[in-house]
Structure 1
């Protein structure tokens, strides 16, 4: 359900950093998230890539005279998003990101997405061909970060897919071993925080099922877990779900992907659902002692896959991005009217 990506600068419309939606398909909207004002950069500690697809699209639309659309799309381009690293050589992408983040004195947000048998052979099939090469890859990933500050979201779906049965039983022991080694290797870098992916509140109904595989995957040495990667579950439902997991894990902290959860999920539709909106901007100011940050892990505007009318998974889809931004504008206007 997720898609490999590269942070390298490519032409608009090609496959770039991104992810598809997660498998959770239930839940209801709890109302619009905090509005994201166009043209205003949140006082976020995270690095915003000036060469993101959204930023380049804004520049292109300005040149084409689509100034209103460009202004609306700045709701996305003005916010920091994660960089997905999923190819054979992680060093060039990470080096570029870390250099940019260091220059701005910001924290990079990286997604390590190369586990063998990735996505169970579905939309984002791939990953390292074997355990040995994965460990070499994660070693190069960690080394490229150096002494810089970074949050690493480790292997979206890898743990939940062991719970829902998608990952074959014969591969689970190797997977937890690789994840635990990855956590240990990444934590050797002094400025790195690592969060293991734990799905979302609409996917694994009983969070207790996640506890054993998370423990086996090195959760104790990590900084916590992440919820809602590339999904649409509301912040309220995620916090409640995360607290339950945290209780089972001795109070572990967690982070949330709020990139597209402004209107919550659409019942029965996980792939490019219409009518969704941007969620809370990336920040560490969550007003919750267990929630370390809201992050935009999924890059808003990247397709979830060749379903729901979208192009292949991970392809930048400008009109879809514009739809997310417009829906957020409508939420902001609605909230303003309610407060008058």
Structure 2
């Protein structure tokens, strides 16, 4: 279906993959942590001072992938991907155990990126990446998920952390309220996000609330409701001073500043001026500010190196022909954008293309989706090699 400004998107418009549960962590001991407690000034761009850390879990996945590449030139390029900073997805209660080893090799001038991602009824508009907690299990989310993470981050006060809070959650409440799964999840999403940002409001932490992307909340009818939804979460969380703003294009495919935009010639483009993520940020941020919320952004450029691949803006699953995008940097050219970052670990699947699988989502079977693809979060060697070959800039 073609998206319109009034369409309630019946899917999660970003591909949110679960990290592999089988990856073995390989510790790299290098000047770990700082000698004293870290205090991040969330009124400033901390990425000007800290480098997004190349976490050891993604490094291990990439190093294993390199061994499977027979072309020596391609293998040499692939090895460089291991040095790129990416966010570590803490997508289950069990995966909280990944934080401690991931912290072990973070130098004092690095910041460890974590995705907080386990709300009850998670991804209410998609099947590929729905979660372990059922609708209504908000007490488990608080006591078994958020509280243990808070304890670990407090125990590692000498390490800096950047958090992306619950991708897809609040955007789904803006556009998919008519879906039963989303309406049933709404109170838990709002309660959970507020609890998360209130309790993760630690001196060594900077937080960004997920705000979908320009093809989702960028429609004329979605911009103000989207800003209000995020701002309400911020206020309900006690106006946490360590919340810096919002994250866009998480696990997404949108260009940063392509002009005209990828879908600018579509018949309904007149209802969405946010034809790239730069326009979206510059349009959405002032609305957040007017609603009383901090409004600086980080943008996921992990897989947006190639555009023009999707048949529709909402096609989110393992887009065929994609390539790695701009590597993490605080040099964005936009005062509202703190950094380009890799939130999605490129090479981990968005969802399975096996139509017989329980978690099969029809978007993973579309013509513009890469096939075959394994379950969400599972490593896809062929897809990783494609991202590498199509990388812009190249490795």
Alignment of 1:161 with 2:172, yes or no, is: yes
1:104-143 paired onto structure 2 within 5 Å: 105-120=109-124, 122-129=127-134, 130-136=137-143, 137-143=145-151
CA distance in 2, matches of 1:265, 1:299: 21
Shift of 1:118: 0.6
Question: Is the counterpart of residue 292 in structure 1 residue 308 in structure 2?
Answer: no
Query: What's the secondary structure of 2:209's corresponding residue?
Result: strand
How much does 1:140 deviate?
A: 0.9
Residue aligning to 2:261: none
Report the counterpart of residue 252 of structure 1 in structure 2. Answer: 295
2:95 & 2:151 partners in 1: Cα distance? 10
Question: Do the aligned partners of 1:201 and 1:238 also contact (CA within 8 Å) in 2?
Answer: yes
Moved beyond 4 Å, runs of 4+: none
Distance of aligned partners of 1:142 and 1:91 in 2 relative to their CA distance in 1, 3 Å threshold: same
272 and 326 in structure 1: CA distance in 2 versus 1, 3 angstrom threshold: same
Q: Helix, strand or coil: the match of 1:153?
A: strand
- C-alpha deviation, 1:104, in angstroms: 5.9
Give distance in 1, aligned partners of 2:387 and 2:247. Answer: 23
1:67 to 64, 72, 76: 72
1:193 alignment partner in structure 2? 206
Q: Normalising to structure 2: TM-score of the pair?
A: 0.69
- Aligned-pair CA distance for 1:327: 1.1
Query: How many Å separate the matches in 1 of 2:119 and 2:230?
Result: 15
Aligned to 2:316: 270
- Equivalents in 2 of 1:6, 1:305: separation in Å? 12
Match of 1:225 among 239, 246, 264: 246
Instruction: Quote the Cα distance in structure 1 between the aligned partners of 2:194 and 2:188.
Output: 10
| Displacement after TM superposition at 1:3 (Å) | 3.1
2-side partners of 1:105 and 1:7: how far apart?
A: 28
Q: Which has the higher contact order (CA 8 A, sep 6+)?
A: 1
In the alignment, the residues of structure 2 paired with residue 96 and residue 50 of structure 1 have an alpha-carbon distance, to the nearest angstrom, of 8
- Superposed CA deviations along residues 242-278 of structure 1, whole A, max 9, x for unmatched, are 1211111116101000000111352324322222111
What corresponds to 1:279 in structure 2? 325
SS of aligned partner of 1:194: strand
Structure 1 match to 2:266 = none
Is 1:80 aligned with 2:85? yes
Contact kept in structure 2, 1:7 and 1:85, CA below 8 Å: no
1:91-127 deviation digits (Å, cap 9, x = unpaired): 42111112221x4641000001100001116111124
Q: Is the 8 A contact 1:4 1:113 kept in 2?
A: no
**Residues 304-313 or 233-242, more deviating:** 304-313
1:6 offset after TM fit, Å?
A: 5.2
Deviations 1:173-210 (A, max 9, x none): 332121011101111x2110111111011123232220
| TM-score, normalising length: structure 1 | 0.80
1:70 positional shift: 1.0
2:185: which partner in 1?
Answer: 171
Structure 1 residue runs of 5 or longer lacking an equivalent are 12-42, 334-340
Pairwise CA RMSD of aligned residues?
2.4
Matched, 1:55 2:63: yes
C-alpha contact 1:72 1:322 (8 A) present in aligned 2: no
Q: Partners in 1 of 2:206 and 2:185 — Cα distance?
A: 27
- Tell me if 1:216 matches 2:232: yes
